[in-house]
Each structure stands twice: as structure tokens, then as C-alpha cells.
Structure 1
């Protein structure tokens, strides 16, 4: 069946708009004026009147964690806690209201010590023992790179003050010589295993609910790191995703970003696993994407890997999650398999070392596999110039500025802060840029993210002219990064990311004009209709 969307302000590219677009069999077949397209409408043609509203290509989150969003929605909400006492009370209330859900323990993510109004410190086992001493309590910082536990959880782990640390992560020893309940980076993965996971059936339901939220906010594609992070039973969850898409229950396009615990797991994936044997055609809604690595931690937890010590934590340079030797081996295996690599990098040392590893594994001296830097926050000009020169992709999360603008100068100093979160500079240098949210670290709603890129103000409008306003981008660049840029990141720039003949009919009708509205209103924009492959998946 043919569909004509008409009477709209349809964004094609910078300063170019059309009035109408026609869709057949999930593909855009015509773009032009109302008069031209309406003259082609047949009796059975579906007509969608935009009533003058703006239409943009479907938004594409280039890095997030959709399964983790489902987890978060099923757990106690701790993302806006204003104190450790608030954290404790919310958890206790959740236990009372959900006794069956917490019988094996509580696991949640979202606290941020910098938002506490009294003591801006990490919660520890003594704090969490006030929630319960009978069941394990595991509460992650919003970044997912540090967590706090109660004493019961430590006992279940079987560790004490003399136990060896885990590779790529730490547990802090208290003044009493016993673990104080604070765990960082890779050590967090061992802690989370002590609480029984959701069933696959539960996760499938949660995944659909998360997709409903995503499409209601204009996302038509996501590139999501779930397998190997949120879930470790790799083969079973690949099967779950295939089932979901085979049964036509999924609402948007999904591209896997996959993690592994070690090189042997990765080799098996290439030779015998989903990569070798899975059915993942390029034109399907479900596709297989890059290897995902972690090089460092987070700025908020002071575990991002830095060239110089933290200005507010002398002697601390952050944590290296994956060594250079390991990363080089991962990149060599990926190159031989023809696979893209994307790596979590926040500190300048992590960025530099990852670029070095990528360059050694280039094909014919070029980044033909489109290896990417996920986050890429703390940079100086030489790093930015090198990223652009080597054509290494960047997957930015502008929404991180909402919090980071209040801490980055204290953490890193003003000089390097002035060249960090360099959305405009890297774009001007010719770098390939895409936008995402790292959801559920931040909401996957794209419009606060675009607002952050355009204004560089926080959600309350602080920083009147923007945080280092020379790095503000205009709306065109922000929308393009979220559409065409994210499509390029997944080798799909000739099929999506634009409203163009021959491209997928992935489009969003907005409730106000993102190109002319006051910039302070961008964060409040909502879709009135979301279409994926010509199918309406959301409509108010």
C-alpha cells in the first residue's frame, strides 16, 4: 500500500525542505511538493496530513543499553536521590512494597554522589546495612562504573581484606581492614552475579516496553550494547532477539554492539558463534554490529583514564579496564574478521591509547572498518586533529554535559576542559560524528540530547551563554549527527538517515518546529507520529 505524508515541513538537508513524501513497501519513493505527490494518490492510498508540522528522518541512537533500560524500570528508582539517607529510605520502601521481587536481593542503578546535598561521598556497606543485613544490596552509581554493597553481599562474594583484587577492577578496603562495600569497574561484574537475573521471558517483556518508550520519543534505530554487559548468556539472548524480531513484536531497528569477557570468548564468537552462524541480513530490522570494548571508567567516579592526575584527587589517574596488549589482540582478530570495533573512552589517556591500538590494526593504513570512540570526552587539540586525520568515528553523548559541566573543571582543570566535549571543533575538522545517550545512564529521549549540543546549558538553563559556547553546534548539525551521522556509524548511510528517494521510510513528525523554535524549547519537543519502514509504530 502507498502512503503519502503531505502538508509538512519535511527536512531534506541544511536549508532544504519539501512539502510531501511518498512511501511504498517501506521505502521512500517520491519527495516533492503537495501538488506533485497528491496527484499520484490512488484510491487505496493512506494519507497523513502533517498540518504544517516538521518532519525529520528517524532518530538513531548510536550507543545505548536497551536491556539495561528495562532493568532500571523494574528496580527501585534511585536516580534522583539527594542524600544517602534518601537512597536508604527509597530502598526500604521498595522492599516493603515489593517483597516477592526483593527476596533474593536488591539491585538498582542511578545514584550520583555529586547530587547529594549534604555528604558528597560514595555510600558504603555501613549505609546499605541500614536497608538490610539479610539480603544482598547492590546499588550502582549512575555511570555503572562503581557500586556500593551491604555486608551481606560481601559475605556472599567470599572476600575479605586479604583477598586478591580482580583484573580491571577494585574493591576498597576500609579502615577496619575489611572491604567497605565500594567496588569499581570490572569488579562490579562479579558483584552483580550474586543477585539472580531476570528470566528471558521477563526481559523480553521489558524490552518491548523499552521499545515503546523509545519510539514514542522519535527513535527508529538504536545501536545497543546489551549482550556481554547486561546479559552474559550470549547465545540464549541472541536467540531471544531473533524470536522477538521473527514474531514481528519489535518496534524499531536494532544493531548489536557485543562485549566479551576475554579473547577466547571473542574467538569462539567469530569462529563458532553468532558471528559465524547467525542469520543477520543487512536489510533486516535486526543486525549484527561491532565488537564493544571498555578502555576506562567514568569521569564522575574518577575512574576515567587520564594523562595527568585528577586535579581534585591527587595521585589518581583513573583505571585501565582493557590493557593495550589485550586491545591490540582484540583489534587484530576483529580486522581479520572484517569487524568494526567501538570502545568506551572518556579520559584523554584512554582515547590516545585506543587510537594507537586502532591504527596498528587499520586495513591498508586506513580506518576502513570504521572503528569508533564511544563518549570521547576529555580531549586536547592534537587529539582532536588526530581523530579527524585518521577518520576515526566519534559517538558523542552531548547530554552528559548536563552533569559534567559542573564537575569537569574541578576534575581535570580549565585548560583541557575548554577543548573537551568538542562537538563543533571535531565537526569542523571533518570528523565523522554520531549522537547517542548511553541510556539508561541518561534518558534515551533524543531532544534533551540535541538541546545539550545546541545550547551547552544544563536542564535548568544554567551557563547563560553555554559551557564553552564556541563548541555549540546548530540544530542542523545536531539533527544530522543523530540521523545521517549515526547511519554512517553502522555502514547504512546509503539507506537511512535522510528523507530521500530509495531510503528507508523511517520518519518522525514533531509537535513543533525544531529548526525555528527557541533553543530552550528543544528539550520539550515530542513526536506526534513515528514511522519505521513505512509502518506507524507510534501516534498520539
Structure 2
């Protein structure tokens, strides 16, 4: 009898130990504390629900982790899971199933890439591509319809510009979209035309809707393949949470389904795209703050003020320095965008508005100021997405109105080849102005705008610190006086990004009671030379105490 009791006790002890939790030991760990200061640790422990129980010295954590499974990481660097505050999850997944125009260094190489894709995918009714940038091709102009017809003439072809704010189409696509010489430009959009008034094959901003309306929608299996591909990429670069900047009802349905089945390996804080029919459907029960142990949230609305700088769709107060005939495009009248913002705020949602040009930013700041008389702004943490070119007198208004600047460091290093030409030497002083925002006390939420830029947050930290691209251009950094310190950049991709989604109590740092979202890297972020930051590799990614990536 005694022997049987001993066996039973041993079995119970083993079972308890197996289910007690996990301790990560012998770590070179860094996190931010409750005050946002950088601290180091040697170990952390979390229970089987995925919540952190202790973070600190090996001795302190071991005392609270008796019987826990122990994982010795052999001195490797452990960091909080990184957060991207502005990306497009399905857009990232779509890149893998489209013609690659990110890589080609010339128009001819881009044409060859489209031709190869078209030949390899004869079953596709449309040939779709993403990522072209005429500035890299050194064309001095946009590509045209004839240059796309030369490689795809048997079916429609539509190629999105790298910023997603312009589209290059062939003749078949113009015909399918019903675009003729007599088609008028839509509000907030432009059909580029030649001297005879004929469409050149370039559609800017809202003019792209002509094509989107006739593009075949992804099938269920295609949409799932996109999501699977995107989640795999996000985990591999150490992103444990992303803010998806504009989703529809179908994306919401898939996110919830993946969350229900434990397949959402990166947390998603989603923004409903606009306040149309999808908003009416998705907002019936109000904002969804947390779903499936915090793996999903739908508590914000994404709106647009203007276009992008590269396609000259960003709305400027004064004309473009390199195109004096245009000031870009505001997508909505002041009244129309105000009504959209109010509709979202009245329903209780955080309002996040894309604004790149100084006129676009001013329009949205003006509207927030008016709305603030009725709706308290500070608790909502409303955001301007990009806040890219802001007149200097408007920057303090972000702080005064409690508006979060949600910015993307790699945009500065990608745009350095054309930004000064677009806005000139004076306006550039308020562009990509991270230091100016930080100096006044604004908390910046950092992201990448993937797939426009690489989703790799370590490349974002590199850009924030060095103001250089991954080829270390330019020497010394582009307007280096606006750079962040390393700790500021780290905070921007962790705790402040979480704060911008009202999630700082559960993620963003490694502290007791928060989710065990962390990554293990092959080098020490805080000891490698600054130029090496973007080359740091992620070895493991953990979300809620579960390993979701292992190199």
C-alpha cells in the first residue's frame, strides 16, 4: 500500500511539474520596465497559460519556478516580441503570389519579371504584380501602357506601385475597367493622360478603384494561403504583434477563425477599412478589445486623407517643388472626412488616419481639434498614420491634441532618393521628423507599412538609429539630426507600439502578468555596431508562451 502511495505521489509530482510552466534560463535579456527604462535580466518564467510569473536574475526566477521545465538558451539574447504598428497582413501574403517588381533595378528587368510570371501562371485571369518604383528605374517618368502591353497582351495586367498609391495597367485592364478618353477623374484620384487626353496606363489613388471593382476576388483557399504565408514571414522576423491598417469583413472572419483554432501565430490589432458597409456590419457590437487570449482585436478604424509622396498623390499646402503644376490629392472634402471621423468616434473606435502631405496632416489635425470639443481625445489615443511631411507649426498640435504619430522609419531611408526633390529644402525640415516629435514628448508608434517595406523590425530599428538604408547609404545618415537613440527605437517597436493599441498592460515588455511574447536572437542588439542592427537574425519567436518559429 505504501509503495502504491509513493508511486501515486511521484506520478502526481511529475504531472504537476510537467504542467507547472517553463523557465528560460541563462539569457542575455533586455526589456523595458514600467517606466519605459531599459533593464537586463538573466531568466524569465511563465505558466502554462502563457503569462509571465517572474523576470530577473537566475536565482530570483528559479525560486518562483520550482518544478518548471527549464530551457537553457546558453547566453543568447532574449528580447520582448517586436511589434509593427502599421502593416497589411494579406497584402504581405499576396506578394508571394504576385509578379515581383520590388527587386528589378530597371524597367526592362521589371518587364522581364512580369513576362516570366505571366508565362508561369497561364490559368490566372489577371496578371498582378507589386512593388515597382520609377525612381529606382531612373526613368524620370512613370512607365506606360505600351510598355506593359509589350509583355502581357492576352489578358488584363495590373501592377501596384511600391507605395500602393498608383497602378500601372495594360490596355486589357483599361478596357475591363471601362476607362476611356471620356472617363473623368474621380474625387481623390487621377488618370494620367498623354497630350491627346488618352490614358497612359497610370492610375493614381482613388482612380485605382476602377480596376479594383473588376479584379477577381481571392478564393477562400487563396486567401488562406496568403494568410499562412504572411504569418510565417512575420514570425520569422520576430514580430509577435502587428497592427493591420485597414481590413474588410472577409479578413476579420479569417482572423477570428485562425484565432479560434490556435493558428494566429502573430497577434493582430486590426483597423476596419473606412466607415462603409463593412464598418456597419463589423461595428454592430462595438469595438472588440481582445479576442482569443489577446490574439486578435478590432477596435480601430482606418481612414485616408491623401496619397503618397512618390506618386505625387500626397496633398501639399504649396505645389510640389519638382512639379509646380500639382499639389497632390486630398481624398475627401474637409466636411466629408470630418463626418467619417465622427462616425467612427461616435461608435467608440480609435480613429487612425493616413496622412502623408502637410495639407493632408493639417486637414486631419483640424478635424481632430473640432471633434475634441465633443469627444475627449486623450483616452482614445487617435493616430495619424505616417505623419510624413508636416509643416513645423503643426507638429506641436500632435502633442496638444493627444494624437499619436504612427511612423515608419524605413520610409525615410527608402524615400531619400526623391523626398527633397518633391518638397524642397524648407519643407523637408518637418518631414520624417522623429527627433522633433520625441523632443516635444510625443510617443511614436513604429511600423514598416509592409509589404511596401520589409516587415523586418530590426531593419526598422536600424533605419531609426542610423537614418541609412541597408546598404549604409548615405554616409553619416540622411538628416541624421532626426535620428532616434537605440533605446528610443527599441521602445518605438515594443512598448510604445503596444501603447498605441491600448495594449501596454499585456504586451510590449517582459514584466510579471504580461503575455510571454519574446524572441531569441543570434546577436546582442545593444552591443553590435549600429550598421549591423538590421542584419541580426531571429532564432526563435514565442507568443503567449508557445514557440511559433524556430530557425
Moved more, 107-116 or 398-407: 398-407
Q: Is 1:383 paired with 2:383?
A: no
| C-alpha distance after superposition, 1:506-529 (max 9, x if no partner) | 111111111111000000012111
Q: Is 1:23 paired with 2:32?
A: no
- Give, in angstroms, the shift of residue 47 of structure 1: 1.7
- Give, in angstroms, the shift of residue 289 of structure 1: 2.5
Aligned residue in 1 for 2:77: 54
- Give, in angstroms, the shift of residue 226 of structure 1: 4.5
| Conserved? CA contact 1:359–1:365, under 8 Å | no
Q: Is 1:222 paired with 2:242?
A: yes
Moved more, 381-390 or 405-414: 381-390
In structure 1, C-alpha distance between the alignment counterparts of 2:497 and 2:121, rounded to whole Å: 40
In structure 2, C-alpha distance between the alignment counterparts of 1:259 and 1:364, rounded to whole Å: 21
Q: Is 1:512 paired with 2:520?
A: no
In structure 1, C-alpha distance between the alignment counterparts of 2:287 and 2:416, rounded to whole Å: 43
- Give, in angstroms, the shift of residue 494 of structure 1: 1.4
Structure 1 gaps, min length 5: 229-233
| Candidates 475, 489, 501, aligned match of 1:490 | 501
| Candidates 247, 258, 263, aligned match of 1:249 | 263
Q: Is 1:265 paired with 2:277?
A: yes
Aligned residue in 1 for 2:5: none
- Give, in angstroms, the shift of residue 451 of structure 1: 0.3
- Give, in angstroms, the shift of residue 264 of structure 1: 4.8
- Give, in angstroms, the shift of residue 257 of structure 1: 1.1
Q: Is 1:200 paired with 2:220?
A: yes
- Give, in angstroms, the shift of residue 176 of structure 1: 3.3
| Conserved? CA contact 1:138–1:192, under 8 Å | no
Aligned residue in 2 for 1:231: none
**SS of 1:333's equivalent?**
helix
| Candidates 296, 305, 310, aligned match of 1:295 | 305
| Conserved? CA contact 1:57–1:483, under 8 Å | yes
| Candidates 136, 160, 164, aligned match of 1:144 | 164
- Pairing of 1:18-167 with structure 2 (within 5 A): 18-24=41-47, 25-43=49-67, 45-100=68-123, 102=124, 104-117=125-138, 119-167=139-187
Aligned residue in 1 for 2:10: none
In structure 1, C-alpha distance between the alignment counterparts of 2:238 and 2:264, rounded to whole Å: 15
**SS of 1:184's equivalent?**
strand
User: Closer, same or farther in 2 for the Cα pair 1:243/1:274, shift >3 Å?
Assistant: farther
Q: Is 1:322 paired with 2:345?
A: no
- Give, in angstroms, the shift of residue 164 of structure 1: 2.3
Moved more, 333-342 or 161-170: 161-170
| C-alpha distance after superposition, 1:44-69 (max 9, x if no partner) | x2222222222221111111001011
Aligned residue in 1 for 2:14: none
- Pairing of 1:412-491 with structure 2 (within 5 A): 412-491=423-502
**SS of 2:247's equivalent?**
coil
Superposition CA RMSD, Å: 1.8
In structure 2, C-alpha distance between the alignment counterparts of 1:457 and 1:498, rounded to whole Å: 27
| Conserved? CA contact 2:246–2:302, under 8 Å | no
- Give, in angstroms, the shift of residue 469 of structure 1: 1.3
| Candidates 510, 513, 516, aligned match of 1:502 | 513
**SS of 2:100's equivalent?**
coil
| Candidates 173, 181, 186, aligned match of 2:206 | 186
In structure 2, C-alpha distance between the alignment counterparts of 1:85 and 1:275, rounded to whole Å: 50
Aligned residue in 2 for 1:371: 382
| C-alpha distance after superposition, 1:451-488 (max 9, x if no partner) | 00000012211222211111111111111011111111
In structure 2, C-alpha distance between the alignment counterparts of 1:491 and 1:248, rounded to whole Å: 23
Moved more, 364-373 or 105-114: 364-373
Q: Is 1:341 paired with 2:362?
A: no
| Candidates 271, 276, 285, aligned match of 2:285 | 276
| Conserved? CA contact 1:67–1:226, under 8 Å | no
**SS of 1:172's equivalent?**
strand
In structure 1, C-alpha distance between the alignment counterparts of 2:257 and 2:111, rounded to whole Å: 39
- Give, in angstroms, the shift of residue 178 of structure 1: 2.2
- Give, in angstroms, the shift of residue 144 of structure 1: 0.8
In structure 1, C-alpha distance between the alignment counterparts of 2:351 and 2:171, rounded to whole Å: 38
| C-alpha distance after superposition, 1:20-58 (max 9, x if no partner) | 111112111111211222244444x22222222222211
In structure 2, C-alpha distance between the alignment counterparts of 1:521 and 1:36, rounded to whole Å: 33
- Give, in angstroms, the shift of residue 158 of structure 1: 2.0
In structure 2, C-alpha distance between the alignment counterparts of 1:422 and 1:159, rounded to whole Å: 40
| C-alpha distance after superposition, 1:96-115 (max 9, x if no partner) | 22222x3x121111000001
| C-alpha distance after superposition, 1:398-418 (max 9, x if no partner) | 001222122111111112213
Aligned residue in 2 for 1:393: 404
User: Closer, same or farther in 2 for the Cα pair 1:164/1:379, shift >3 Å?
Assistant: closer
In structure 2, C-alpha distance between the alignment counterparts of 1:226 and 1:199, rounded to whole Å: 20
In structure 2, C-alpha distance between the alignment counterparts of 1:79 and 1:342, rounded to whole Å: 27
| Conserved? CA contact 1:304–1:319, under 8 Å | yes
| Conserved? CA contact 1:106–1:195, under 8 Å | no
In structure 1, C-alpha distance between the alignment counterparts of 2:547 and 2:205, rounded to whole Å: 41
| C-alpha distance after superposition, 1:176-224 (max 9, x if no partner) | 3322211110111221333312212211122112111111111000111
- Give, in angstroms, the shift of residue 365 of structure 1: 5.0
In structure 1, C-alpha distance between the alignment counterparts of 2:126 and 2:137, rounded to whole Å: 24
| Conserved? CA contact 1:391–1:432, under 8 Å | no
TM-score when normalising by structure 1? 0.93
- Give, in angstroms, the shift of residue 278 of structure 1: 8.7
Q: Is 1:360 paired with 2:367?
A: no
| Conserved? CA contact 1:512–1:525, under 8 Å | yes
TM-score when normalising by structure 2? 0.92
